């Protein structure tokens, strides 16, 4: 089987450096936060073109703390997309605010700015666009609407490390950006991890307190905070990986370009590459009306695939209380029925990719 993702291949390519870094943390006994986390935060700020990076224990925690730092709470509404991983919406719920959805643009799979203003009410306090699959959302109109209505903008960049919108790195455009370092991400830890980026010093100060029990010094708690700290081992691993993130990103983009060149002529609906954005291809999602049959067909031909995501959040039972009926967001619902993610990772060889393409060509000849 061609694996959907191969974390071991990447580890083996940097094994000596990672092993040494992890052993260094064990020797230092700085297991929570510490100098390795601080060093990684500095590197990631430079990479994302931001003034501050606050490392936390997951991408979900990053979203949760960004909302709290922005003053979001009970009675507030936060507008986002239903075509995303559930963590985006769960974080809004953690802040005791109400998620409000708008549909996606079917080309980019990201929040459609043309639908935003109709969803704004007097209770709207923030916009939470998602840079899905590594594709940046259309940030200029989103920011213009936010400024017009005095709204906070929090970027969910969990799948978009290094992605760019008109030359600006995601995570630097809104008021805060939230990243995940889950192992399978473009920049993945060896466990859970996340970060919030911002150019606002007051947000950064609040975020650092919130992640560490609401304290700036031990046992003096000014806020009701959380135990959301990034571990030293994860900081050390991520610091090593920062040397390679750009090379890995370009390798992903090369894999995507090769898929495009071979699949588009066969009538396969490949991901859009928009001219003003740098897509970093966390996921390479094609569209196929007979998606489930295609997934089975590819599995039978030795190819593992994934689905991101089969049920939009507004149709999940966990959020049934929001009251959105089937058909409320037709583009998100169509994407949920049709998207299929092909193997995508920097170490994917041409030979492996050729097996994937061969399976898709066979499928195209039959339908």
In tens digits, the chain (367 residues) has pLDDT values of 999 999 999 999 999 999 999 999 999 999 999 999 999 999 999 999 999 999 999 999 999 999 999 999 999 999 999 999 999 999 999 999 999 999 999 999 999 999 999 999 999 999 999 999 999 999 999 999 999 999 999 999 999 999 999 999 999 999 999 999 999 999 999 999 999 999 999 999 999 999 999 999 999 999 999 999 999 999 999 999 999 999 999 999 999 999 999 999 999 999 999 999 999 999 999 999 999 999 999 999 999 999 999 999 999 999 999 999 999 999 999 999 999 999 999 999 999 999 999 999 999 988 7
Whether 98 contacts 92, CB under 8 Å: yes
User: 175, 25 in Cβ contact below 8 A?
Assistant: no
Buried b (16+ CB within 10 A) or exposed e, 233-249: bbbbbbbbbbebbeebb
Strands 164-165 and 98-101: unpaired
Start-to-end Cα distance in the chain: 23
CA–CA dist 222, 214 (Å, integer): 6
The pLDDT value recorded for residue 367 is: 76
Residues 127, 99 contacting (CB under 8 angstroms): no
DSSP 50-68: -SEEEEES-HHHHHHHHHH
Count of other CB atoms within 10 angstroms of residue 27: 8
In whole angstroms, what is the distance from residue 295 CA to residue 136 CA? Answer: 27
The whole-number pLDDT of residue 366 equals 86
> Which 8-state DSSP code applies to residue 213?
T
pTM for this prediction: 0.96
- Nearest Cα to 168, choosing from 255, 48, 83, 258? 48
d(CA 363, CA 243): 39
Q: Which residues contact 141 (CB under 8 A, 6 or more apart)?
A: 113, 114, 116
């Amino acid at each position: 089987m061609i694996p959907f993702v191969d974390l071991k291949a990447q580890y083996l390519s940097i094994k000596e450096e990672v092993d040494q870094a992890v052993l260094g943390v064990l020797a230092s006994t700085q297991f929570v936060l510490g100098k390795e986390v601080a060093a990684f935060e500095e590197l990631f700020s430079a990479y994302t073109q931001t003034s501050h990076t606050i490392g936390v224990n997951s991408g979900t925690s990053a979203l949760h703390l960004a909302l709290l730092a922005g003053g979001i709470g009970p009675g507030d509404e936060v507008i986002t997309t239903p075509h995303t991983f559930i963590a985006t919406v769960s974080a809004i719920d953690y802040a005791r605010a109400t998620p409000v959805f708008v549909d996606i643009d079917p080309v980019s799979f990201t929040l459609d700015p043309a639908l935003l203003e109709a969803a704004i009410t007097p209770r709207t306090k923030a916009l939470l666009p998602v840079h899905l699959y590594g594709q940046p959302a259309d940030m200029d109109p989103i920011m213009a609407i936010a400024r017009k209505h005095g709204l906070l903008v929090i970027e969910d960049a969990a799948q978009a490390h290094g992605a760019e919108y008109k030359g600006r790195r995601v995570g630097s455009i809104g008021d805060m950006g939230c990243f995940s370092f889950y192992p399978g991400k473009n920049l993945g830890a060896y466990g859970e991890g996340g970060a919030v980026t911002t150019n606002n010093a007051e947000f950064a100060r609040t975020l650092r307190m919130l992640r560490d029990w609401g304290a700036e010094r031990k046992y003096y708690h000014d806020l009701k905070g959380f135990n959301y700290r990034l571990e030293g081992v994860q900081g050390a691993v991520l610091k090593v990986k920062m040397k390679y993130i750009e090379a890995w990103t370009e390798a992903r983009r090369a894999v995507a370009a090769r898929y495009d060149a071979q699949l588009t002529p066969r009538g396969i609906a490949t991901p859009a590459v928009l001219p003003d954005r740098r897509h970093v291809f966390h996921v390479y999602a094609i569209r196929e009306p007979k998606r489930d049959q295609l997934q089975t067909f590819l599995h039978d031909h030795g190819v593992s695939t994934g689905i991101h995501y089969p049920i939009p959040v507004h149709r999940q039972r966990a959020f049934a209380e929001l009251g959105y009926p089937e058909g409320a967001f037709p583009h998100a619902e169509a994407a949920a029925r049709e998207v299929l993610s092909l193997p995508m990772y920097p170490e994917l060889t041409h030979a492996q990719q050729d097996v994937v393409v061969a399976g898709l060509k066979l499928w195209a000849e039959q339908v």
